[in-house]
Amino acid sequence: MSEYWIFTGTYGSADQEGIHILSLNSKTGNWEKIAGVKGINSPSFLAIDAKRNLLFAASETMDGEVVSYQIDSQLVTLKELSRQKTSGDHPCHISMDATGCWLLAVNYTSGNISVFPVDEYGVIGEMSDHLQHEGSSVRKDRQEAPHPHSIFNMPNTPFWVVPDLGCDQLFVYKLDTVNGKLQQQTIVSTSPGAGPRHAVFHPHQPWLYIIEELSSTITAYHYDCENGSLREIQRVTTLPEGYDQVTISADIHIDAAGAYLYGSNRGHDSLAVYRIQHDGTLIQVGLVSVEGAMPRNFVITPDDRWLLVANQDSDAVTLFELKDGMPVYTGKKLELYKPVCVKVLKVE
């Protein structure tokens, strides 16, 4: 049996199960909730270290925290190992570096970045670096101050890209993996009012795609592995032509084959589907309803067969089967309180 565990982060409180484990049979599409853990407020974003069976969570609160857990695949439990304050408000995204030695977090409201060492057992140590962004942009209701929204490693390089929604900028840093320090490499300005949010790198080519929350657009870049520089290739909408209702974009992913790219729209409540061309440009091939409300995050299973959407405002995760790149709704959903993140782990 080919089984995946889907870890789901939510906006649940510490006295309710805020992180859930779902089991998905990739052959049949049968799924169920098998476990959950309490004790953490608003675990809105998760990261997995598959080699060591570790789960990391960001507690998106004022004076936020990062927490680590040991995944026990036999007992189907999460055992808390450690937690540290991020010295920032509302950490909304975390990433592990390739060595498993460093955990990086962005604090949305306070506009800063935190770096933590992680030991061989998954214990998070005291913060090694803390950087403050400065600036603002044209939307005074959302861009009155810096709001870094995510942090992603440029594949096979020491560089990290931080889309800052508040500044309309992409910050590129180089991580010193000996001392856990970030050094700024470059800053790339996006279109005014775009609000860059999340990023995805192509699995085989030097292409980076940024989904822009406020303008509901995706901008493609070519990146340079030697110096971390970015060159814009294309900018496309995530919406149907003529759509003029209130909507904001959220998450972005590419299938393992590198053939299709997907972006989520909150308000329009859809997935925009694109075919990736030989030069890295995108052609939209469809818009698919997420069968829910406010698709904040979604994930594709490594076999490119299933896509799961965390619909925050309809309190459910919906399951789609990918057929020739298009998500087809299976009619299956699991009700969970305010799901906002889904991560996948293959269970051996």
The one-letter amino acid code at 89 reads D
Q: How far apart are CA 133 and CA 11, in angstroms?
A: 26
Q: How far apart are CA 265 and CA 21, in angstroms?
A: 25
3-state secondary structure 128-160: CEEEECCCCCCCCCCCCCCCECCCEECCCCCEE
What is the dihedral sign for C-alpha 268, 271, 276, 279?
A: positive
pLDDT of res. 348: 77
pLDDT of res. 112: 98
Does position 330 have pLDDT exceeding 90, yes or no?
yes
Answer whether 162's CB lies under 8 Å from 150's CB. yes
Look up residue 124 and give its DSSP letter: B
Q: In the chain, what percentage of residues exceed pLDDT 90?
A: 98
Does position 1 have pLDDT exceeding 70, yes or no?
no
Enumerate the β-bridge partners of residue 286: 273
**pLDDT tens readout for residues 188-241:** 999 999 999 999 999 999 999 999 999 999 999 999 999 999 999 999 999 999
User: Which strand (E) or helix (H) includes residue 296?
Assistant: strand 295-300
As a residue count, the chain comes to 348
Vertex 104 angle, CA 168 and 37, to 5°: 115
Q: How far apart are CA 121 and CA 83, in angstroms?
A: 13
Check residue 199 and give left, alpha or beta (phi > 0: left; psi -120 to 50: alpha). beta
Confidence of residue 251 (pLDDT cuts 50, 70, 90): very high
Vertex 163 angle, CA 319 and 6, to 5°: 25
**pLDDT tens readout for residues 71-113:** 998 999 999 999 999 999 999 999 999 999 999 999 999 999 9
Answer whether 239's CB lies under 8 Å from 249's CB. no
Q: How far apart are CA 301 and CA 320, in angstroms?
A: 11
pLDDT of res. 25: 96
Average pLDDT over residues 250-274: 98
Confidence of residue 12 (pLDDT cuts 50, 70, 90): very high
Pairing between strand 248-254 and 230-237?
A: unpaired
**Dihedral, CA of residue 331, residue 335, residue 336 and residue 341, to nearest 10:** 10
Look up residue 277 and give its DSSP letter: P
What is the dihedral sign for C-alpha 215, 12, 301, 93?
A: positive
| Matching residue, tokens 């999460």 | 78
- 1 burial type by CB count under 10 A (0-12 exposed, 13-18 middle, 19+ buried): exposed
pTM for the complete prediction?
0.98
